[in-house]
């Protein structure tokens, strides 16, 4: 029997404020790297079974949003945690700097086009949340968004928080269930990982000089993340703050969060009508009496 991990300590569902300093980046929930290996493997298998039912039932969809500072492990989380899923039923979208075409639309446009179909799991590697993160840290990015002149920035961020909450409510009302993961990495750990990217030729491609300049805005980003979590955590779409200094624990926790959410959906294989059962029986008869 599988022991259910306690994910509540990592969830913020919107009451009061938070300080990210109160959330440890190196927490491992009492697990060890060795013990986590088998548990993650089990979770990957459980996820695959749940996904199969999600796909067959074709009513619900799940949208997993991953947000984090650079090198917090977004890509490797996707790679390791989703490895057991059926690729037909998963779609990963990475949100980069918006293109000219995308900038000619409202900021939700590109996200809405990437929403998972029923029965599917959609993963957003970065998301519309960048609109209250990178754009907030660098408000000059607003100048490219073809908006009327922004006179009151704080009103704009508030409006975006509200709009995002409304859209996530809309998605939930339409059986698209949003799971939001913030990978909380320390500044020291980020430095270590940047160093690895610089020193290891196989990782060089992952490094860009822009990563260093963004690191210079560390505190601004932490503030933006704090406000984002405070203002967009809701009962049906809370933020999870995942300790991200130890990738093995981030992966275990993320898989557990996804499983527990899928379990709440009461997923079931479609039940055949009597009519459909008769068709199945007839097909079986035909196969059995087939001339060899």
Q: Residue 48 or residue 137: which is nearer to ligand ATP going by CB?
A: 137
Interface map 126-165 toward ligand ATP (x if CB under 6 A) = x---xx--xx-----x------------------------
Size of the site for Mg ion (CB under 5 A): 1
Stretch that binds ligand ATP, among 71-79, 148-156, 171-179, 252-260 (CB under 6 A): 71-79
Q: Residue 100 or residue 210: which is nearer to Mg ion going by CB?
A: 210
Distance CA 223, CA 202 (A): 33
Of 75, 172, 220, 230, the residue at the interface with ligand ATP (CB under 6 A) is 75
Distance CA 171, CA 176 (A): 5
Q: Residue 70 or residue 256: which is nearer to Mg ion going by CB?
A: 70
Q: What is the CA radius of gyration of the chain?
A: 22
Size of the site for ligand ATP (CB under 6 A): 16
Distance CA 246, CA 254 (A): 12
Find the residue with minimal CB distance to Mg ion: 70
Of 27, 70, 168, 245, the residue at the interface with ligand ATP (CB under 6 A) is 70
- Buried b / exposed e over 246-267, threshold 16 CB at 10 Å, is bbbbbbbbbbbbbbebbeebeb
Q: Can you tell me which residue has the tokens 């060089």?
A: 204
Residue 96 sits in the site that holds ligand ATP (CB under 6 A) = yes
Residue 65 sits in the site that holds ligand ATP (CB under 6 A) = no
Residue 130 sits in the site that holds Mg ion (CB under 5 A) = no
Tokens of 290: 């087939």
Residue 189 sits in the site that holds ligand ATP (CB under 6 A) = no
Residue 76 sits in the site that holds ligand ATP (CB under 6 A) = no
Torsional sign, CA 106, 111, 113, 115: negative
Interface map 58-97 toward Mg ion (x if CB under 5 A) = ------------x---------------------------
Of 35, 86, 97, 143, the residue at the interface with ligand ATP (CB under 6 A) is 97
Q: CB 105 → Mg ion: shortest distance, Å?
A: 24
Q: 59 near 265, Cβ under 8 Å? A: no
Query: CB-hemisphere CA count at 13 Å for 82?
Result: 21
- Degrees to nearest 5, angle at CA 63 with 60 and 65: 165
Torsional sign, CA 44, 50, 55, 58: negative
* Interface residues toward Mg ion, by CB under 5 A: 70
């Amino acid at each position: 029997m599988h022991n259910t991990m306690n994910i509540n300590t990592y969830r913020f569902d919107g009451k009061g404020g938070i300080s990210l300093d109160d959330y440890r980046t190196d927490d491992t929930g009492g697990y060890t790297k060795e013990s986590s290996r088998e548990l993650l493997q089990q979770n990957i298998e459980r996820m695959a079974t749940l996904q199969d039912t999600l796909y067959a039932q074709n009513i619900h969809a799940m949208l997993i949003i991953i947000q984090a500072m650079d090198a917090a492990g977004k890509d490797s989380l996707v790679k390791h945690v989703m490895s057991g899923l059926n690729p037909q039923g998963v779609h990963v979208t990475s949100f980069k700097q918006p293109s000219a075409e995308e900038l000619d639309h409202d900021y939700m446009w590109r996200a809405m086009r990437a929403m998972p179909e029923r029965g599917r799991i959609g993963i957003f590697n970065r998301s519309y949340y960048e609109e209250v993160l990178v754009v907030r840290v660098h408000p000059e990015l607003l100048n490219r968004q073809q908006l009327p002149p922004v006179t009151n920035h704080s009103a704009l961020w508030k409006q975006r928080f509200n709009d995002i909450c409304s859209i996530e409510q809309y998605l939930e009302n339409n059986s698209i269930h949003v799971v939001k993961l913030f990978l909380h990495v320390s500044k020291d750990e980020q430095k270590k990982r940047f160093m690895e990217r610089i020193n290891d030729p196989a990782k060089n491609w992952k490094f860009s000089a822009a990563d260093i300049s963004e690191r210079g805005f560390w505190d601004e980003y932490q503030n933006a993340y704090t406000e984002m979590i405070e203002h967009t955590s809701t009962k049906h779409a809370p933020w999870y703050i995942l300790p991200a200094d130890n990738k093995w624990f981030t992966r275990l926790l993320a898989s557990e969060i996804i499983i527990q959410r899928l379990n709440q959906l009461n997923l079931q294989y479609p039940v055949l009508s009597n009519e459909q059962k008769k068709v199945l029986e007839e097909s079986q008869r035909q196969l059995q009496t087939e001339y060899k």
